[in-house]
Structure 1
C-alpha cells in the first residue's frame, strides 16, 4: 500500500489521528480502539509492522527515520510529538 504525502501540514493532533488509523489498520482494530498513551506493542504491533509503519510515516511526512524510532517513542503520543519536532527541524 502506498501512502500519499500530506496535503495540509499536520498538527500534533491530526498526526495522532493519522497514526491511530494506520496502527488500527495493521492490527485489525478500529481507530477508536487505539489509545494514544498505550505502547504500540500492546496492540501486537510487531517489528515487521513497525518497519512498515515507519515507511508509511516517511512517505507521509517526507522524513527519513531511524528504524528504532518507535521503540524509542513507543506510544502515539510520544511518536507524534517527536515527529512534529523533526518536521520543525527540517524546515529550520
Structure 2
C-alpha cells in the first residue's frame, strides 16, 4: 500500500491532515473579504436577497421544455443546414409535445 503522508507534514495521520486543511480554509482572509463585500454592496452584488417561487416555477418550466425538445435528434444535433428547416423542426416538435399533454 502506498504511503499517503505529505512530506511537509511529516508522519501525520489522515485525520491530522484533514484538520490542517480545514483550519487553513477557515482562516482564509479572502472569505472575510467576500462577506464584507457582499454586505457593502447590498442588493447590487452577491447572492439574491430572497427566493422568488414564481420566477423559479417559470424557469423550471422552460428548462424542462428545452430538455424535452433535446430528445428530438434533429434538434439536439442541429443536423439541418438552414435556419428555416431547423425552426420548422422545432415547431413540429413543439406541436407534438403540446398535443401529448
Give yes or no for TM over 0.5: no
* TM-score where L is the length of structure 1: 0.30
Which of the pair has more CA radius of gyration?
Answer: 2
Higher relative contact order (CA 8 A, sep 6+): 1
**Higher share of residues assigned helix:** 2
* TM-score where L is the length of structure 2: 0.28
